[in-house]
């Protein structure tokens, strides 16, 4: 069948803070059988981006390439051809795996984003050497989108010292990078400095309806909006935290929108911000890809009532005292004891919501002995690397104390 193509002009119809900071009309492109796209420079970017941080794994803890190929094929078939990987994702295996699966396609048919690992850099030469290593791992000559990865309070000085921006701009001039950006987990003050200092094609921010207030995501969004820097959204579902809602939060959603899933609701919320070009979802199986593709094939911006419901759910979640962990695992990169920090936080959060002591202890017991919270030696390295600024050692103590108390 011949493809029908039309531009859908979506007027600003959303309420809340986003409306106040909106920059005009958002143009969406719809092709039959495909997810909605947005025009960005010379590209058409799908509103659904494929995050490559939580790839499917086999029982042997290797990336499940059979499942990954199916996921990528389904995405490509439906126009979701934007893939976002990084040096450190899946213990350094994501780039290789994405290279293998994507190289079954023509290079111009997929859009590949990668990131320069700031924490690894000692000199400007390292930036180029790492870029070449990444190209090799991905089996490509160039990246469409390339970022300074994870600028935050601990990395901002390194990124400046090694002149990462200058080196990346040289690569852009050589045609090895199309668009230069940064991903960010810092304070609004650092963000202001970063956007003043350099000219960026785009940026990647953590935006979801819970973090909008909790980690001041709205402030970050407004800062880049002022500078007219388009946004790629990461963690729209907060590492799954907005998928597995508490009963109270789920009831609120179902009362208002019985046919909506929490994932669909969260993804649409993020995509409805007017300055957003794509929303990354870290998908781990084919079913998730299918569900997300459906969401973005039938996409529409949220209306005022939906925005209000999102605010109410966020308030419920905040009042339940959850630990604000997105399961990014940056803390585990530096933990000398290999403690499974995000797993401990996830099970504790669940416990706080359900108050189910038995399930809490059962899940706690499934953690490997060496990875349990009580193995923490309180060195504090994890907290320095945590984008959410969590007081990890203290929280781990609280969790293990709670466990001991219940057991006693
Ligand atoms: S404080 Fe504990 S959890 Fe954090 S890095 Fe040190 S040992 Fe690991
Ligand atoms: S504790 Fe912080 S660094 Fe660790 S997984 Fe959670 S959000 Fe990421």
Structure token pair of residue 204: 């990647």
User: CA angle at residue 150 from 341 to 323, to 5 degrees?
Assistant: 35
Q: Is 27 helix (H, G, I), strand (E, B) or coil?
A: strand
Sign of CA dihedral 117, 65, 270, 299: positive
Cβ contact 99:139 at 8 Å: yes
Mean pLDDT calculated for residue range 378-395: 93
- List, in sequence order, the alpha helices (H) in 174-257: 188-197, 211-214, 217-226, 247-256
Is the shortest distance between the CB of 153 and ligand 1 below 6 Å?
A: no
- Given a cut of 80, whether residue 72 has pLDDT beyond it is yes
Is the shortest distance between the CB of 171 and ligand 1 below 6 Å?
A: no
- d(CA 171, CA 143) in angstroms, rounded, equals 10
- Please, is 74 exposed, middle or buried when counting C-beta atoms within 10 Å of its C-beta (0-12, 13-18, 19+)? middle
Ligand 1: which atom is nearest the Cα of residue 378?
1
Q: Give per-residue pLDDT as tens, 219-272.
A: 899 999 999 999 999 989 887 778 888 888 999 999 999 999 999 999 999 999
Contacts of 264 (CB under 8 A, 6+ apart): 291, 295
Q: Give per-residue pLDDT as tens, 3-14.
A: 333 334 333 333
Pocket of ligand 2 (CB under 6 A): 325-331, 341-342, 345, 385-388, 390, 392
| Per-residue pLDDT, 355 | 74
Mean pLDDT of the chain: 89
Look up residue 25 and give its DSSP letter. Answer: P
**Extended beta strands in 152-243, E state:** 177-184, 202-206, 231-234
CA of 326 to the centre of ligand 1 (A): 17
* Nearest Cα residue to atom 8 of ligand 1: 335
Ligand nearest to the CA of 211: 2
- d(CA 376, CA 397) in angstroms, rounded, equals 8
CA of 340 to the centre of ligand 1 (A): 10
- Given a cut of 90, whether residue 27 has pLDDT beyond it is no
Cβ contact 183:147 at 8 Å: yes
Q: Where are the domains of the chain?
A: 5-319, 330-407
Q: Give per-residue pLDDT as tens, 333-355.
A: 899 999 989 889 878 887 876 67
Sheet holding 26-31, edge to edge: 5-10, 26-31, 37-40, 43-46
Q: Which fold has domain 5-319?
A: TIM Barrel (3.20.20)
Mean pLDDT calculated for residue range 57-85: 97
Mean pLDDT calculated for residue range 357-364: 78
Ligand 1: which atom is nearest the Cα of residue 341?
3
Q: Give per-residue pLDDT as tens, 89-110.
A: 998 999 999 999 999 999 999 9
Mean pLDDT calculated for residue range 355-378: 83
- d(CA 148, CA 198) in angstroms, rounded, equals 12
Taking the model in full, what pTM does it have? 0.77
Distances, alpha carbon 107 to alpha carbons 128, 153, 208, in Å? 22, 36, 31
Ligand nearest to the CA of 240: 2
- Please, is 404 exposed, middle or buried when counting C-beta atoms within 10 Å of its C-beta (0-12, 13-18, 19+)? exposed
**Which of the four pLDDT bands, split at 50, 70 and 90, describes residue 21?**
very low
Is the shortest distance between the CB of 406 and ligand 1 below 6 Å?
A: no
What percent of the chain shows pLDDT beyond 90? 70
- Determine which helix (DSSP H) or strand (DSSP E) holds 134, and give its type and residue range: helix 124-138
CA of 243 to the centre of ligand 1 (A): 28
CA of 152 to the centre of ligand 2 (A): 14
- Token pair 């108050």 in the structure block, residue: 355
- d(CA 196, CA 188) in angstroms, rounded, equals 12
Contacts of 136 (CB under 8 A, 6+ apart): none
Give which of 206, 98, 112 is closest to 151, Cα–Cα.
Answer: 206
Is the shortest distance between the CB of 335 and ligand 1 below 6 Å?
A: yes
- d(CA 111, CA 101) in angstroms, rounded, equals 13
* Nearest Cα residue to atom 4 of ligand 1: 382
Q: Is 48 helix (H, G, I), strand (E, B) or coil?
A: strand
- How many alpha carbons fall within 13 Å on the CB side of residue 91? 6
Q: Give per-residue pLDDT as tens, 172-199.
A: 999 999 999 999 987 788 999 999 999 9
| Per-residue pLDDT, 214 | 59
Ligand 2: which atom is nearest the Cα of residue 324?
7
């Amino acid at each position: 069948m011949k493809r029908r193509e039309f531009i859908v002009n979506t007027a600003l119809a959303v309420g809340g803070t986003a409306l106040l900071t909106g920059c005009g009309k958002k143009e969406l492109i719809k092709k039959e059988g495909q997810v909605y796209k947005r025009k960005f420079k010379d590209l058409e970017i799908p509103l659904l981006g494929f995050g490559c941080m939580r790839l499917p794994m086999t029982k042997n803890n290797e990336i499940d390439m059979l499942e990954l190929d199916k996921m990528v094929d389904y995405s490509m078939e439906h126009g979701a051809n934007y893939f976002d990987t990084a040096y450190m994702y899946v213990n350094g295996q994501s780039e290789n795996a994405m290279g293998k699966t994507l190289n079954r396609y023509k290079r111009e048919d997929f859009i590949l984003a990668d990131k320069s690992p700031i924490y690894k850099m000692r000199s400007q030469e390292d930036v180029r050497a790492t870029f070449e290593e990444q190209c090799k791992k991905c089996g490509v000559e160039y990246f469409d989108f390339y970022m300074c990865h994870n600028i935050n309070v601990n990395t901002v000085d390194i990124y400046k010292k090694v002149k990462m921006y200058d080196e990346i701009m040289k690569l852009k001039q050589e045609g090895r990078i199309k668009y230069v950006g940064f991903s960010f987990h810092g304070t609004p003050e650092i963000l202001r400095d970063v956007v003043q200092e350099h000219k960026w094609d785009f940026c990647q921010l953590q935006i979801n309806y819970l973090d909008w207030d909790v980690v001041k995501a709205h402030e970050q969004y407004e800062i880049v909006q002022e500078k007219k820097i388009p946004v790629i959204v990461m963690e729209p579902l907060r590492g799954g935290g907005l998928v597995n809602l508490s009963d109270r939060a789920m009831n609120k959603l179902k009362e208002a929108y019985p046919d909506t899933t929490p994932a669909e609701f969260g993804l649409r919320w993020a995509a409805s911000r007017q300055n957003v070009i794509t929303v990354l979802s870290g998908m781990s199986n084919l079913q998730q890809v299918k569900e997300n593709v459906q969401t973005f094939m039938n996409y529409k911006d949220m209306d005022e009532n939906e925005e209000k419901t999102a605010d109410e759910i966020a308030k419920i979640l905040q009042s339940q005292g959850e630990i604000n962990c997105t399961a990014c695992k940056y803390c585990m990169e530096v933990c000398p004891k290999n403690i499974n920090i995000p797993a401990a936080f996830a099970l504790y959060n669940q416990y706080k919501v359900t108050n189910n002591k038995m399930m809490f202890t059962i899940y706690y017991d499934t953690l490997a002995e060496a990875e349990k919270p009580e193995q923490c030696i309180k060195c504090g390295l994890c907290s320095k690397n945590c984008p959410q600024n969590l007081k990890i050692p203290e929280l781990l103590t609280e969790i293990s104390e709670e466990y001991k108390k219940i057991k006693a």
